[in-house]
Amino acid sequence: MSDDKPQDRWTQGPELSPEEARRVEQTAAEGQGGEDGDDAETLRERQRLAQLEMMDRWIGGVLSEQRRSRRWKLFFRFLFAALILTMIGTTFYSLYRAAQPAVVAGQHLGVVEVEGVIDSQSRANAERIIKGLRRAWEAPSAQAVVLHINSPGGSPVQSQRIYDEIRRLRGQGNKPIIAVVEDIGASGAYYIAAAADEIVAAPASLVGSIGVIFSGFGLEEAISRLGVERRVFTAGDNKAFLDPFKDISPEQRAFWQGVLDTTHRQFIEDVKAGRGDRLADDPALFSGLVWTGQQALDLGLVDRLDTLEGVARKRLETPRIKDYTPGLDPLDRLTRRFGQVAAEWMGLPQAQSPVRYQAY
């Protein structure tokens, strides 16, 4: 008796997994998977080829979906870029239009806004206000130039520049320049108003504060108690006399008071030159006090009580107002603000006068 066993195609060859065996049996039962003579190896090969074909179809579908997804991503990116470019273009066009004074049909009042602290780094700086004044002055249909003031004052130099420009324009023609005080027209803002032909204020407006201020702190004892050594190197005995961490001598105090007095005297002389004999003979006028519009009328600081709308109705049959104040450049404002913050953070000195025509 021979030990050789008959060849069985279902028991010979590589071992199949239960799932593969099930598929082979199903193929054989249905008559699919080849001819009767095909063995298990052939069936497995055909099954592998079928799986590869299925995998190819699946990969093809995935690649097709990725291509569609990529196309949509590109579409939305181009759409987003187009929107950004449109917004940028619209912004620059708006800035350009804002820089160009619009033509107003008929007679009107040419308004220039003086709003906030008067300073070279603020919206109420001399360059911007003077540019607006010239635009309004040169506009043929503007029957009067109106300085619409709502400011506590600020830089003496910026205020003096605007004052001088108003006086210069007044000497070139007969177009009236009117200062209209809204909530407050004090200190440097009143300095500007004094150059106008007429000052108008509401009864509750705050007007005056003809004075000069410098404020600081004396921290020399505080720094000593904290055990902190202040290291300041100077060439000149008085170079750092305003340092808040150093004591100030009587001579330095007298000198600085002389600077303030000189600046105050310039303020007083220019107010008198602008207002003339309309001012009351009252020494309190130049003491730095601030009054309501009603009180200021009795003191000659203002000429009458009214509002911007009232001035327009009084001067024009059909009241019209046109703002000639130059538009603000957002990029320039952002750059200036960033520069100020960076300088403060690094402890760098600011290009700003410590002496102020400003109400506190």
Residue 9 one-letter amino acid: R
Catalytic residue (choose from 141, 239, 249, 287): 239
Query: What is d(CA 111, CA 322) in angstroms, rounded to the nearest whole number?
Result: 6
Closest CA to 10 of 30, 24, 31, 29: 24
Query: What is d(CA 138, CA 23) in angstroms, rounded to the nearest whole number?
Result: 96
Dihedral sign, CA of 119, 302, 179, 160?
negative
Closest CA to 199 of 170, 183, 177, 178: 178
Catalytic residue (choose from 187, 205, 209, 322): 187
Verify whether residue 249 is a known catalytic residue: no
What is the full DSSP assignment across 14-62?
A: SPPPHHHHHHHHHHHHHT-SS-TT--HHHHHHHHHHHHHHHHHHHHHHH
- Token readout for 1 is 């008796």
Verify whether residue 239 is a known catalytic residue: yes
Q: Which residues are catalytic?
A: 187, 239
